[in-house]
Structure 1
Amino acid sequence: MTIHVLPLAITMMAGPQIISAIIFVTAERPIRLSLAFLAGVLAATVAGVVITRGIAELLGSAISMGDSQHKGAAGRTIELVLVALLLLLALKNYRGRATAEPPRWLTTLLTATPLRALATGLLVILAMPSDIIVLLTVGVDLKRSNAGLVGAAPFVAATLLIAALPLLAYLAFRRRAEHAMPKVRDWLDSHSWLVNVIACLVFVVLILS
């Protein structure tokens, strides 16, 4: 892959995604719930890459998307559309910052079951507009580089690692993590709009670079 893997993976997990991971480590069964959540994130990310790589393959067979050194007209057009969508999403989050509230479903995760945690991991990847845009970019990049699905392994691994950071922090610093994680969760809840805006802008820079 020619795109910057780590920033792209950070963008994947910014917003409700990482907040969900933090909530699970503050629940009654943190390890069990977190592992189920990570399984959902992994499955959704892999499925997303497979689907978007297939979409890029279909588009590439009909129109020129360029290669890893030279972007075709269609590939460049797709990138510009993605940039426009991201800027609109960032603007929407900024304009709604005064009344921004975390999604209601986040408040129910403290009492979630492992099955619910698994479903949450799937949905925070496959149902979030920003993550869909990231996955489309990955699929287009794989096609342009003539890379197979294995080429997305660093991206998938980085996304899973970032999703696992709250659990790893909990396991490494259990007492301190139990004290700090609720504060981090509350801050992210009240500043979710800022996290989303930053994630969108970082992704715009990655696309245009």
Structure 2
Amino acid sequence: MSVEILPLAVTMMAGPQIISAIILVTGRRAVPVSAAFLLGVAIATTAGVAAARGVAALVGGGIEMGGHGHGDAGKAIQYALVALLVAAALKNYVRRETVEPPKWLAALLEADARKAFVTGLLIILLMPSDIVVLLTVGANLEQNGSGFAAALPFIGATVLIAALPLLFRLLLRRRAVHVMPRVRDWLDAHAWVVNVAACLIFIVLIL
């Protein structure tokens, strides 16, 4: 797998994904609940990469992503993705005063381990941006003739980014207890910033 794919792990967790991790770490049973969330993220990312690798194998190596495509199909997909991402970034910016995080995020404050695990699964497998990233990783594996093992660094990086709020909580303990709710509230109020940043990062990586 190409090294340039690794930064896509940031895009995987940008937006509601990382906000979910922060909310869970501010709850009453932060450690076990966050651990369940991370398990869900790890399983979903692993399964998603495997499925994307299978799709890429069926489609074949004719479509190339990540700035290396020479065929018309590859270029058309790249341009279409960039156009969609630009539109999404502009929409978030224009509606920045009214953009609010999904209501289900607030419910995570009372989440138990089971709900956190399911959230970790679904927040990867159902997010359009994550689906695009997983397909990109699968296509990259196919183009380079790499097996599933080559995607392990990407999977590990995704889980590590998802684990940052929990690691912060464990390392700083009492300070984190006071800081993390403030970070959560800032992200709630500036959700559009996270969304726009994720779109821009992905545009750069595509081009």
TM-score of the superposed pair, with normalisation by structure 2:
0.93
1:151–1:101 distance in 2 versus 1, CA, 3 Å = same
C-alpha separation between the residues in 1 aligned to 2:51 and 2:13?
A: 19
The RMSD of aligned alpha carbons is 1.8
Kept after mapping to 2: 8 A contact 1:83/1:204: yes
Q: Report the equivalent of 1:148.
A: 147
Displacement, 1:79?
Answer: 2.5
Gaps of 5+ in 1: none
Displacement, 1:205?
Answer: 0.5
Residues 1:57 and 2:64 aligned together: no
Identity %: 59
C-alpha separation between the residues in 1 aligned to 2:147 and 2:75?
A: 21
Could you give the per-residue CA deviations for residues 121-155 of structure 1, whole angstroms, max 9, x where no partner exists?
A: 01111111111111111111111111111111111
Displacement, 1:99?
Answer: 0.6
Q: Report the equivalent of 1:198.
A: 197
Q: Secondary structure at the match of 2:60?
A: helix
Q: Which amino acid aligns with 1:45?
A: T
Residues 1:12 and 2:12 aligned together: yes
Aligned residues: 206
Residue correspondence of structure 1 range 119-130 to structure 2 within 5 A: 119-130=118-129
Q: Which runs of 4+ in 1 moved over 6 A?
A: none
Q: Which amino acid aligns with 1:188?
A: L
1:68–1:170 distance in 2 versus 1, CA, 3 Å = closer
C-alpha separation between the residues in 1 aligned to 2:152 and 2:48?
A: 13
Kept after mapping to 1: 8 A contact 2:64/2:139: no
Residues 1:88 and 2:75 aligned together: no
Displacement, 1:71?
Answer: 2.8
Q: Secondary structure at the match of 2:7?
A: helix
Residue correspondence of structure 1 range 32-47 to structure 2 within 5 A: 32-47=32-47
